[in-house]
């Protein structure tokens, strides 16, 4: 038996490792979706001055998403009579696969990657764009005009915003000289070396990319494909039960994937901000393999925290800003973001070629110092505002007397 196992491993070890990696990735994607749904409800609750989930799973409602998942598994899964049976069934899974494949090329640490690729960035953008096929099939296969309208809107929006999004990630690629995500991350050891601080063009490219990424993931204020007031529920109007769950698993998976790209290309990847690779540092004290394991535990933790922080910002924006009209969504992309991304790509090319190195270093340092100071100011204001009584931070917010149309009782003395 041992001889057979040894022989089997010798000839099939790559296949076995691939299966294990695939199971780990799909497991991470599912757990990430569970955590993201819980976080979304908590963020929405806090912004709307309520608590969010509190009952299921203890004080913080940890198990609320699992309870919802169990409910969706036993919920009746209906298919409309006018729907195309095959397209209706297969559409959600095509969308999920498009989101899942992006995780194959995403590095979580030093060597913690399912498949190392020299064109890893191009691969991630390509497979994530295939999610649009699932959206179209979901809308068309439902046999509903509301679903069809939502699917066409979402297809137009995703395809349009992928153009400036791809142009923006080319900005740090020009600086790094590589599309290998692991190599790009390793070039950013030390927080002052993160590409978001490299020059004004990479700094602007990060925010432009993040805006396009939110629109590509169907997140508010760009969620016109799911606008209840206009399209009932968008492309997934006719879905319920497990297939409806799969659609939103794909959305939350895409949110973390685009956040992972932003993390790798602009925010140092798994770097904690120190100018050393942690696996190398721990290997000097603990030995090669123990040091690699301990270092990568910290690397993966840092990468996850950065990714979830960016996902949190997406949720923050969703529950803060009002929804745009569909013409405003498309105009923002075609009229503003595409020209801006082209200017940024041309600008960073000229900057790299002609700007003196000393000037590059000085301007990079200024951007870094201003960014740290701005972040500290925002954190300080958030802490101080949270301690003030209502209306102090926004004078007049709670005032009612004297407003046009106010019908309340007059103030008495």
Mean pLDDT, contiguous 10-residue spans, the chain (413 residues): 71 78 86 90 87 85 89 86 92 92 92 90 93 92 88 89 94 94 93 93 96 89 68 79 88 93 94 89 88 92 94 92 86 94 95 93 94 92 70 54 52 51
Tell me which long-range contacts 38-42 makes (C-beta under 8 A, separation of at least 24): 38/62, 38/64, 38/65, 39/308, 39/311, 39/312, 39/315, 40/315
Cα distance between the two ends of the chain: 94
pLDDT for residue 230: 58
Helix axes 131-141, 145-176, angle to 10 degrees: 180
pLDDT for residue 402: 55
pLDDT for residue 16: 80
CB burial of 187-210 (b: ≥16 within 10 Å; e: otherwise) equals: bbbebbbbbbbbbebbbbbbebbb
pLDDT for residue 338: 95
Residue 146, helix vs strand vs coil: helix
Residue 124 near residue 99, CB atoms below 8 Å: no
pLDDT for residue 285: 85
Residue 141 near residue 91, CB atoms below 8 Å: yes
pLDDT for residue 315: 92
Residue 173 near residue 349, CB atoms below 8 Å: no
Residue 255, helix vs strand vs coil: helix
pLDDT for residue 227: 61
pLDDT for residue 332: 92
Tokens encoding 58:
């203890």
Residue 138 near residue 96, CB atoms below 8 Å: no
């Amino acid at each position: 038996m041992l001889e057979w196992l040894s022989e089997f491993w010798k000839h099939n070890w790559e296949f076995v490792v691939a299966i294990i990696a695939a199971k780990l990735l799909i497991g991470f994607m599912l757990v990430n979706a569970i955590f993201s749904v819980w976080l979304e409800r908590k963020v929405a609750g806090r912004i709307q001055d309520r608590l969010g989930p509190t009952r299921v799973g203890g004080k913080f409602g940890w198990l609320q998403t699992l309870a919802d998942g169990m409910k969706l598994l036993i919920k009746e899964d209906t298919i409309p009579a006018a729907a195309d049976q095959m397209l209706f069934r297969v559409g959600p899974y095509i969308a999920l696969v498009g989101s899942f494949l992006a995780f194959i090329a995403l590095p979580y640490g030093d060597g913690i990657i399912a498949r190392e690729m020299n064109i890893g960035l191009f691969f991630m953008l390509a497979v994530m764009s295939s999610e649009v096929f699932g959206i179209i099939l979901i809308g068309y296969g439902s046999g509903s005009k509301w679903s069809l309208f939502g699917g066409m809107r979402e297809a137009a929006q995703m395809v349009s915003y992928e153009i400036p999004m791809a142009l923006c990630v080319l900005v740090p690629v020009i600086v790094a000289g590589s599309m290998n995500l692991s190599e790009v991350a390793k070039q950013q050891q030390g927080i002052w070396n993160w590409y978001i601080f490299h020059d004004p063009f990479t700094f602007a490219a990060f925010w432009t990319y993040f805006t396009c990424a939110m629109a590509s993931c169907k997140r508010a204020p760009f969620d016109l494909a799911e606008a209840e007031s206009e399209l009932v529920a968008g492309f997934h109007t006719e879905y319920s039960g497990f297939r409806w769950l799969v659609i939103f698993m794909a959305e939350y998976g895409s949110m973390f994937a685009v956040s992972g790209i932003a993390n790798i290309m602009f925010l140092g990847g798994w770097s904690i901000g120190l100018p050393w690779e942690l696996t190398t540092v721990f290997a000097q004290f603990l030995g090669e393999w123990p040091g690699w394991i301990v270092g990568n535990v910290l690397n993966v933790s840092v990468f996850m925290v950065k990714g979830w922080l960016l996902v949190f910002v997406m949720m923050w924006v969703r529950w803060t800003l009002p929804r745009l009209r569909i013409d405003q969504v498309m105009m923002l992309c075609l009229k503003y973001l595409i020209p801006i991304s082209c200017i940024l790509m041309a600008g960073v090319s000229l900057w790299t070629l002609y700007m003196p190195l000393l000037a590059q270093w000085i301007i990079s340092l200024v951007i870094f110092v201003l960014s740290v100071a701005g972040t500290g100011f925002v954190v300080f204001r958030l802490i101080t505002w949270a301690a003030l009584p209502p209306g102090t931070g926004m004078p007049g917010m709670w005032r009612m007397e004297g407003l046009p149309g106010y019908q309340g009782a007059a103030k008495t003395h």
